Amino acid sequence: MYALKQDWGTMHVSRKDGDGPALVFINSLGTDLRMWDAVCALLPSDWATLRMDKRGHGLSETAPSGYGIPDLAGDVIAAIDDAGFENVILVGCSIGGLIAQHIALMIPERVTGLVLSNTASMLGAAEGWHARIDGVRENGMAAMADGILPRWFGPKMLENADAPLWRTLLARTDAEGYIATCAAIAGTDITDRLGEIAQPALVFGGKHDLATPPEVVEALARALPRADLVMFEDTGHLPAIEAPVAFADALVKFVERNAQ
């Protein structure tokens, strides 16, 4: 765990070096790099991993508002450069998957493959994000968290004793950082560029996902030139938390097929 200085502030980064493939994990909205803990623990010991907290999330500082998804992608690229990773496989969930798609377009020669979990090339209509921003401004993060949890998790995870921990993490997310990130999502649609992403991709979805429903994830997989689809039967929006063993198993098989 270390601090990486950016022009907007300090970014919290976690890196594990190894002689195997290098994987870069990019978090969903309202979580931090701990969302990948269970998955990373199941990876081969010689694989390298890189994780970071987005602006305004986890231990990273909150940046001035007005940034977009390309700026968040630039933060990840800066961490990749700092780590000295030449070629990487990107693993992103929700906004993390949207960021990963941007990175694949920005530095295609360095991206070996993509694992896109519960994401799309456009994450919902702008009006919905602006309504969420208004709700956070009026009522705060804690009031919003109860309504988000059923969008995150399937029925099994909602009954799990750990579910309230993730609600607490969301409720404690910096409101201004969350709002700025929502605004970045609202302004993004790269559907017309999906055909340019030539790398092999593995797309995950969850049958109980209310944030990126199965049909949205299926559409992403169809639009990408080289994508396979895995649909988890029991999960919602965050299968890396809900079903880490199944997630890691599919991830490892994909990397072993595609790592250079």
Evaluate whether 50 touches 23 at the Cβ level (below 8 Å): yes
pLDDT of 94 strictly over 70: yes
Angle between helices 175-186 and 126-152 (to 10 degrees): 120
Interval 160-164 mean pLDDT: 96
**109 by DSSP, 3-state: which?**
helix
Report the predicted TM-score, pTM, of the whole model to 2 decimal places.
0.98
Which residues are CB-neighbours of 228 under 8 A, at least 6 positions away? 200, 201, 202, 203, 221, 254
Q: pLDDT digit string (tens) for 95-124?
A: 999 999 999 999 999 999 999 999 999 999
Q: pLDDT digit string (tens) for 25-53?
A: 999 999 999 999 999 999 999 999 999 99
The DSSP-derived string for 186-218 is HT---GGGGGG--S-EEEEEETT-SSS-HHHHH
pLDDT of 78 strictly over 70: yes
List, in order of start, the domains of the chain with CATH numbers: 2-258 (3.40.50.1820)
**36 by DSSP, 3-state: which?**
helix
Q: What pLDDT shows up at residue 260?
A: 57
In this structure, which amino acid lies at residue 8? W
Q: pLDDT digit string (tens) for 133-151?
A: 999 999 999 999 999 999 9
Which residues are CB-neighbours of 210 under 8 A, at least 6 positions away? 150, 151, 236, 237
